[in-house]
Structure 1
Amino acid sequence: MTTRIASVRAELRSDSADVATATPRLSWTTVSETPGWSQQWAEMKIEDEVVARVDGPGSVLVPWPFEPLRSRSVRTVQVRVLGSDGLLSDWSEPCRIRAAFRSGRDWVAPLIAAPEPTTAARPVLLRTEFTVRPQLRRATLYATAHGVYQAFVNGHEVDDQVLKPGWTPYRSRIVHESTDVTALLATGANALGIDLAGGWYTERVGFMTESGVSYGEQPSVTVHLELEYVDGSTDDVLSGEQWRCTTEGPRRSASLYDGEEYDARREMPGWDRPGFDDSAWSAAHVLRENFPVPEARTSPAVRAIERMPVTRVLNSRSGKQILDFGQNVVGRLRIRLTGPAGTRVVTRHAEVLEDGELGVRPLRSARATNTYVLSGNGEEIWEPAFTFQGFRYAEVTGLPEPIDPAAAEVVVLHSDLRRTGFFESSHPLINQLHANVVRSMRGNFFYLPTDCPQRDERLGWTGDIQVFAPTAAFLYDVDAFLASWLVDLGLEQDAIGTGSVPFTVPHVISGGDEPPGEGTNPTAAWGDAATVVPAVLFERYGDREVLERQFTSMCAWVGLVQERAGQDLLWAGDFQFGDWLDPTAPPEDAFRAMTSPDLVATAYFHRSALLTSRTAMLLGRPAQAQRYSALAYNIHRAFVDEYVGEDALMSSDSQTAYALGIVFGLHDSPQQRDRMGERLASLVRENNFRIGTGFVGTSLVCDALTETGQLEVLDALVTSTSNPSWLYPVTMGATSIWERWDSMLEDGSINPGEMTSFNHYALGAIADWLHRRLAGLAPGEPGYRTLEIAPVPLPSFDHARADLHTPYGTASAGWRRDGDVIVVEATVPTGTTATVRLPGRESVEVASGHHVWKIDG
């Protein structure tokens, strides 16, 4: 029998060895051939110098046992474990850790920008030269921007990150990058250049650019290059008035919504190398404004993840060439071109076609158009740097001849998350639905969880991620990503000052036709992201620290709602989104739903109070736990008395109402719950097995039918292809999740509503049910310390399976039909256990290893 450490990691980032803390938590996975193996103790050593020991089974987010890391230090950690079989493993492979943060000093480099610009949000090039003395030991570049930037050292990009540093609430938090640039420097003269554009800082973000708001008119950047020498001395290269800048470079404009214009005739070869003549450039303008001390990045960066070729070429009705990439993606078009100097090549983008042309109406005021002016110097390759589009189709015009399809490709962009979860079944349409969920998640996890990637919005809507967080946490490792976003949520909540959570994080909704409060009034299911998302991260990753950090935010939210609800604890009469985009809502009124918004609000009030109570207990705060538990109980009583009749019929006789009552436990007995399930099943039948839920109910309805044993109705609902249904878009050729159940109508036309996206992940929250219930792989204890294996075989399926890279190793669960028998299989990772619940059998506990059961089909 052998035992080995399969992997070791520090803190949460999965895309980098960088850590943003001096005391990173350690996690490791163990693989053992011994059935039922468990860890007795573990030893950790750093650089073969210090050995620390922890007793017991803990192997996930273990507190740092060594001296705190020094800023910029690079260390390696190894782990070995003693198992219950008495065998000691070998030391693991070294885990490299880089302390990518500044410690003990304020940020001294000022923001710099172009002086007195004549055009708003003009892209700018900035540069400086400096001398490196002999015997350089290490060079670290710290930089961030009010805008987006790339840094160049001696003509080389310093990293592969895109649109850095991303988007945070600039007035309260900005994130810096820490980049080791030692290998790019040479003794003697060196140059540092910054290519800078406005990004989210200057974009008029919000609904429609004319009613949106921007943080500022011009981008700026702050840079600190620290040079360390072998003798212990240091030199600093700081942004300041000695820098030179120009707005006369080739990038003429750059907008996230509108696209980028680049004139290759204006390129300045060597601008980012030493010896360049910048005498015609201006001195950089030093901004005297205060800004938050930049924090080290804790979440994964956005990068180019893959490249996709053209799948077919179409000609539009108007005779234009359209490139089809076969699926709806998020990224940028990269093209190879030749032609005379001054030739203007224009690319336009859209998710769908309508009447043989690009369907651009859903973009609203976003132009999603890039322009490249050829230099005429042979073959030219262009990919915009400071924009991105959501699209499947690209129209290319301006060339004398149609572009060669082989000369174009899509560079796919998203946060560089580690894929962890997989699903497969015997149902091809369900498999395509799941693939669409993955694709929509990838495209919308772009520094923060956005609603859509294409139109003049792309905002961090709290309601969308509240319902989707469980699905996200299965498909990808999103602990660091969402934990960082929750920091922003708490800061925006603090800025409002009432405990309210804004509709979007960062908070930018203001003015226009928005309801009173400019996006800050408390709203159920959206504001409840403050309680639900931290709870999901704890459930799926065992991340207690996120609960500790967000607990004040959770309490503030619940306290505000309690104040709004009043003594009867029924949250009623306030503005609510309710069951947003209920399929019966007309195109022009997404608020209109079958379910009372007050019922939705009170149900979520109960949910958040209960989650806050549980969090308080986990954090060792029994008095608060008791208070919130009592509050949750009283809300429960108020809800049932107000909305649930003695016959279990609800005041809103809708799919969403019953799903909320069942899944949130808002009933008085199992019998009442089952009667609610019977009525829910009847509603689904009466609706010809079509879905009848919006954003709120969609994530709950399958669980509600499962919990109440309505499996035949559930099967028909899940596999329906009628409009509306999960599979209707798949039958219409969808390759991502639509915002509306009918974003495209059956005649192939686009839904006439102003708000129509073909890449929204919220309605894809069903994927969590596919993983947990259909395949049967669910967390039993936080972080999958124990599993719950409880598959729900449905008649329309011959098999289903889910696989997940848990913090303890790879787990799997699934089933297949073999004649009249259903064969259930599960793999339980080393050091964990599972509770197995099979139809018609008593539950059993099993240890790690591979297990097979057979049940009647």
Structure 2
Amino acid sequence: MSEPTWSAQLIAPVIDHDAPLLRTEFSLDDGHGELASARWLVSAQGVFEAYLGGVPVSADVLSPGWSSYEWRIRYRDYDVTDALAAVDGPVVLGLALGSGWSHGRLTWKSLRNVYADDVAAIAQLEITFADGHMQTVITDQNWTAGPSAVVENDIYDGETIDARLASDAWLAPGFSGEGWDGVRPVDFDTAKLAPYIGPPVVRHERIEPVAVWTSPAGHTLVDFGQNLVGWLEFSVQGEAGSAITIKHAEVLEHDELGTRPLRTALATDRLILSGGIDHFEPTFTFHGFRYAQLEGWPGELTPDSLVAVVVSSELRRIGEFECSDEELNQLHRNVVWGQRGNFVDVPTDCPQRDERLGWTGDLAVFAPTAAFLFDVNGFLRDWLVDLDLEQVHADGQVPFVIPDVLKYAPHEGKWPKPETAAIWSDAAVWVPWALWQAYGDRDGLAAAYPAMVAHVRRTARLTSENGLWDTGFQFGDWLDPAAPPDRPGDARADKGVVATACLFRSASLLAELATVLDHDEDAASFAELAERTKAAFDEHYVSEDGRVQSDCATVYALAITFGLLDEPQLTGAGNRLVQLVRQNGHRIATGFAGTPYISDALTATGHLDVAYQILLERECPSWLYPVSMGATTIWERWDSMLPDGTINPGEMTSFNHYALGAVADWMHRVVGGLAAAEPGYSRIRIAPQPGGGLTWARTSLETPHGRVTVRWELTEDGLEIEADVPAGTAADLVLPGAEPVVLGPGRHVRSRTHARN
């Protein structure tokens, strides 16, 4: 579709309503033949639902989502040709509006009206007839506005619907309702309007309850069996004026709803009954929950009474993994659900409390996993546009969150003044790198390149005279399991070591990407920066026997995986890492910085067996401890739920936080044996490394060239493997103890005797 020329105005109700309705009606121009095409361009300050001819024009919800509204507000581009042709008589256009992100409460600071004082909408319907005549219907002062049945709505706090006010009459021709009045134009620069690059948010599926019961305190609780993101939907009839109240939470604590991790988010929906049959679906909010507590339900509440509607950005699942260990399968499912629940337009840290922000550090480490499980190319390219906008307006600094709402929060001593921070700001390089490896999209890489360059150049200016990045605030190995609940940044890893290692990685990756994009001078400059950083790291942080300063698992994981060590220090560091892992009983001793890389570090230094021992450990802290506690998503803290069923006392305790699920990337590549040998899987590496007592694994991926599948099984004779290689590609098959073999397109069956370990 061509870029529109906007003549529409942004309009808001003259009379303030919590969730206003906007409408107009018109007739198609006569004398121009059949309707050829019609597109309706719609956006809003807030969120909207669009109706034409009395019905929704699309299945999307929470549009236009959350972008860096100061400079970019996306619009939806609906093809309404068939919907318009189906209307007989006057055509009614309707827009239902909610507060969303621009007008509602944001962050634990309870910021309100951050981006706009008005809930408002802009829309332009472009109709083309058979003879080429165009008719345009725009939002202007000819529209009218009135109240809806939504009397309260907020992303964090929930939605209240008064069914006594509900009516579809406003969508019918000739409507003139009580309380309806005019609209007023809102000052707005239409140059901010931009098309979606990624997908919209949609209803993904509906999940029925697995149990309904009464708690010891007398509350009615519902369990959906899965920690999810969305809302409840039901139809019900009860006494007019009575109310049903629904509270949401991810876990139970002592057999009651565990709401403390929500902090100030109310996460509460209400339906005020009309006396007739009322349908309830609160689409201007969303909650992260597995459990719901209902009060005021008329009659008996049963599992057939309601469903949970799962919402997420419309992402196509492309990667699958399964193995002989059911607990690992559950861990992998938890990773999938964690991504689904946090990829609601913005890749958020968590979907339930008074936060739900696009934390850059979480995505920096999770992006390879995300790009394997779902096709996130458009989704993350869209987010990277906002990263670039925020960075340009912050002198090259990549903020902690994208969109950067924290810049509007008052600074306080407890929270750092935002500055370039390792891993978090490195998302500017690491996320595009992950997308390049997964999809081979050169145009997307080129679009992200300026932000990558600006980040690395800014970081280089922040280093000390000795070449180390040991200045300023750093998150470091955030949420080291040894850190006290109230001091999540107190990690064992030296923050300068972590930051300098990250600078080396970003400079190295950018040098390679600059070469891909034919920026040869940049490539040489960044390669030289990487070598300089490596030399400083080695001089100041690494001993002759491979000991790395602060001598903890995270610093070895980063130094080894990022390629900072040469022999003999590499062997020494690998051996020391194994010692530390064994001393800790194979339990996790790393936080956000080290956890995504420790398995690769062990594998690269010849300690695959130890990597499997960590993966399969069940004592806390470990990946399988939450599984043993019934988790259905990845937790923020290794011990978000303590063994006695008590919620971790820290004020940051989420039960849906995808970052620590980055281990799935290692599971796909090493356990499953499927990786990209060249960007976009134009060449494939099939190299399963069995271990840990696993007897089989299956992995598949829809690559840009077609589906790749890998299945291996240990038999009495050794390792048997089946692989499907798509047309136009080749695969390097690397089996334990065997020379590599090149496989062409098609199905292949191979075996290697005596491969059991």
Q: Which TM-score tier does this pair reach, normalised by the shorter chain?
A: over 0.9
- Find the aligned partners of 1:539 and 1:772 in 2 and give their Cα distance: 13
After superposition, the C-alpha distances for 1:197-255 in whole angstroms (9 at most, x for unaligned) are 1101112212242x577212321110101121112111111111111112x32110110
Instruction: Decide whether the 8 Å contact of 1:331 with 1:410 is kept in 2.
Output: yes
User: Is 2:406 aligned against 1:506?
Assistant: no
After superposition, the C-alpha distances for 1:497-520 in whole angstroms (9 at most, x for unaligned) are x21100000001143565699764
After superposition, the C-alpha distances for 1:685-711 in whole angstroms (9 at most, x for unaligned) are 000110111011111000000001112
User: Is 2:220 aligned against 1:311?
Assistant: no
Instruction: Decide whether the 8 Å contact of 2:462 with 2:471 is kept in 1.
Output: no
Aligned partner letter, 2:128: E
- Find the aligned partners of 1:500 and 1:192 in 2 and give their Cα distance: 43
After superposition, the C-alpha distances for 1:234-291 in whole angstroms (9 at most, x for unaligned) are 1111111111112x32110110100000101112331012111147411101112325
Match of 1:758 in 2: 655
2:526 to 603, 608, 628: 628
Structure 1 residues 490, 321: CA separation in 2 closer, same or farther (over 3 Å shift)?
Answer: same
User: Is 2:504 aligned against 1:599?
Assistant: no
User: Is 2:106 aligned against 1:205?
Assistant: yes
User: Is 2:116 aligned against 1:216?
Assistant: yes
Match of 1:145 in 2: 44
Match of 2:467 in 1: 569
Instruction: Decide whether the 8 Å contact of 2:559 with 2:565 is kept in 1.
Output: yes
1:665 to 541, 546, 563: 563
Match of 1:227 in 2: 127
User: Is 2:672 aligned against 1:778?
Assistant: no
Q: Secondary structure at the match of 1:716?
A: helix
1:635 Cα deviation (Å)?
Answer: 0.4
Instruction: Decide whether the 8 Å contact of 2:416 with 2:473 is kept in 1.
Output: no
Structure 1 residues 518, 487: CA separation in 2 closer, same or farther (over 3 Å shift)?
Answer: farther
Match of 2:331 in 1: 433
2:183 to 284, 287, 293: 284
User: Is 2:316 aligned against 1:418?
Assistant: yes
- Find the aligned partners of 1:586 and 1:212 in 2 and give their Cα distance: 32
Structure 1 residues 251, 368: CA separation in 2 closer, same or farther (over 3 Å shift)?
Answer: same
Instruction: Decide whether the 8 Å contact of 1:502 with 1:519 is kept in 2.
Output: no
| 1:680-759 pair list within 5 angstroms | 680-759=577-656
- Find the aligned partners of 1:168 and 1:662 in 2 and give their Cα distance: 37
Match of 1:28 in 2: none
Match of 2:424 in 1: 526
Instruction: Decide whether the 8 Å contact of 1:323 with 1:394 is kept in 2.
Output: yes
- Find the aligned partners of 1:753 and 1:303 in 2 and give their Cα distance: 33
- Find the aligned partners of 1:219 and 1:767 in 2 and give their Cα distance: 41
User: Is 2:92 aligned against 1:191?
Assistant: yes
Aligned partner letter, 1:686: Q
User: Is 2:27 aligned against 1:126?
Assistant: no
Choose 579-588 or 392-401, whichever is displaced more: 392-401
Match of 1:176 in 2: 75
Instruction: Decide whether the 8 Å contact of 1:738 with 1:759 is kept in 2.
Output: yes
Instruction: Decide whether the 8 Å contact of 2:360 with 2:424 is kept in 1.
Output: yes
After superposition, the C-alpha distances for 1:177-205 in whole angstroms (9 at most, x for unaligned) are 11122233335411111100110111221
Match of 1:811 in 2: 708
| 1:98-497 pair list within 5 angstroms | 99=1, 101-103=2-4, 105=5, 107-115=6-14, 117=16, 122-134=18-30, 135-185=34-84, 186=87, 188-209=89-110, 214-246=114-146, 248-278=147-177, 280-377=179-276, 379-496=277-394
User: Is 2:476 aligned against 1:578?
Assistant: yes
Structure 1 residues 426, 212: CA separation in 2 closer, same or farther (over 3 Å shift)?
Answer: farther
User: Is 2:512 aligned against 1:614?
Assistant: yes
After superposition, the C-alpha distances for 1:818-837 in whole angstroms (9 at most, x for unaligned) are 01512233221111111122
- Find the aligned partners of 1:123 and 1:483 in 2 and give their Cα distance: 31
- Find the aligned partners of 2:191 and 2:753 in 1 and give their Cα distance: 60
1:590 to 468, 482, 488: 488
1:401 Cα deviation (Å)?
Answer: 2.7
- Find the aligned partners of 1:158 and 1:770 in 2 and give their Cα distance: 41
Q: Secondary structure at the match of 1:224?
A: strand
- Find the aligned partners of 1:286 and 1:488 in 2 and give their Cα distance: 27
Match of 1:63 in 2: none
Aligned partner letter, 1:706: T
Q: Secondary structure at the match of 2:349?
A: coil
User: Is 2:446 aligned against 1:545?
Assistant: no
Aligned partner letter, 1:102: E
- Find the aligned partners of 2:488 and 2:662 in 1 and give their Cα distance: 19
After superposition, the C-alpha distances for 1:697-739 in whole angstroms (9 at most, x for unaligned) are 1110000000011122222111000000000000000000000
Q: Secondary structure at the match of 1:128?
A: strand
Unaligned runs of 5+ in 2: none
After superposition, the C-alpha distances for 1:42-95 in whole angstroms (9 at most, x for unaligned) are xxxxxxxxxxxxxxxxxxxxxxxxxxxxxxxxxxxxxxxxxxxxxxxxxxxxxx
Structure 1 residues 515, 464: CA separation in 2 closer, same or farther (over 3 Å shift)?
Answer: farther
Instruction: Decide whether the 8 Å contact of 1:779 with 1:786 is kept in 2.
Output: yes
Q: Secondary structure at the match of 2:90?
A: strand
Q: Secondary structure at the match of 1:695?
A: coil
Aligned partner letter, 1:238: I
- Find the aligned partners of 2:7 and 2:38 in 1 and give their Cα distance: 17
- Find the aligned partners of 2:571 and 2:741 in 1 and give their Cα distance: 25
Match of 2:574 in 1: 677
Q: TM-score w.r.t. structure 2 length? A: 0.97
Choose 216-225 or 251-260, whichever is displaced more: 216-225
Aligned partner letter, 1:214: V
Instruction: Decide whether the 8 Å contact of 1:212 with 1:509 is kept in 2.
Output: no
- Find the aligned partners of 2:731 and 2:417 in 1 and give their Cα distance: 44
Q: Secondary structure at the match of 1:696?
A: coil
User: Is 2:553 aligned against 1:655?
Assistant: yes
Instruction: Decide whether the 8 Å contact of 1:192 with 1:273 is kept in 2.
Output: no
Q: Secondary structure at the match of 1:245?
A: strand
Instruction: Decide whether the 8 Å contact of 1:502 with 1:527 is kept in 2.
Output: yes
Q: Secondary structure at the match of 1:715?
A: helix
1:842 Cα deviation (Å)?
Answer: 2.0
Give aligned-pair identity as a percent.
44
Instruction: Decide whether the 8 Å contact of 2:464 with 2:470 is kept in 1.
Output: no
Choose 349-358 or 814-823, whichever is displaced more: 814-823
1:320 Cα deviation (Å)?
Answer: 1.3
- Find the aligned partners of 2:470 and 2:43 in 1 and give their Cα distance: 44
1:141 Cα deviation (Å)?
Answer: 0.8
* CA RMSD, 1 decimal: 1.6
- Find the aligned partners of 2:28 and 2:612 in 1 and give their Cα distance: 69
- Find the aligned partners of 2:13 and 2:206 in 1 and give their Cα distance: 34
Aligned partner letter, 1:831: G
